[in-house]
Amino acid sequence: AQSVAQPEDQVNVAEGNPLTVKCTYSVSGNPYLFWYVQYPNRGLQFLLKYITGDNLVKGSYGFEAEFNKSQTSFHLKKPSALVSDSALYFCAVRSQNSGNTPLVFGKGTRLSVIA
């Protein structure tokens, strides 16, 4: 079975500081990994994805994520946080090796960037 763990319900960071939102996953075979962001009263917005190749993936709004196969992690990072980055962030995974399996989401991490 596929699963995603986002161990932190809430992450607080000062504006201008680097931020990390953690994600670990469990999947059969190789993973497809995604990060989405949800702003209040808005749908989820795609940030970035890992399919294959370079372990460091760059996405929208200056975000990046690093795929670490040995640690089964895909942490989201940004070098310098903005107040406007405050939102709910979801990590998601599905297997590359099990046909058309559904995307499985984590519970989400609320990021609060303080001015």
Partner 1 sequence: GAGVSQTPSNKVTEKGKYVELRCDPISGHTALYWYRQSLGQGPEFLIYFQGTGAADDSGLPNDRFFAVRPEGSVSTLKIQRTERGDSAVYLCASSLNYGNEQFFGPGTRLTVL
Binding site for partner 1 (CB under 8 A): 4, 32, 34, 36, 41-46, 49, 90, 92, 100, 102-108
Tokens (6 digits) for 99? 């046909």
Instruction: Tell me whether residue 3 or residue 80 sits nearer to partner 1 (CB atom).
Output: 3
Q: Which residue has the tokens 């519970």?
A: 107
Asked if residue 76 lies in contact with residue 20, where contact means CB atoms within 8 angstroms, the answer is: yes
Please tell me the distance from the alpha carbon of residue 31 to that of residue 20, in angstroms, as a whole number: 21
Instruction: Tell me whether residue 44 or residue 82 sits nearer to partner 1 (CB atom).
Output: 44
| Residue 34 CB, nearest approach to partner 1 (Å) | 7
Instruction: Tell me whether residue 33 or residue 81 sits nearer to partner 1 (CB atom).
Output: 33
Q: What is residue 62's three-state secondary structure?
A: helix
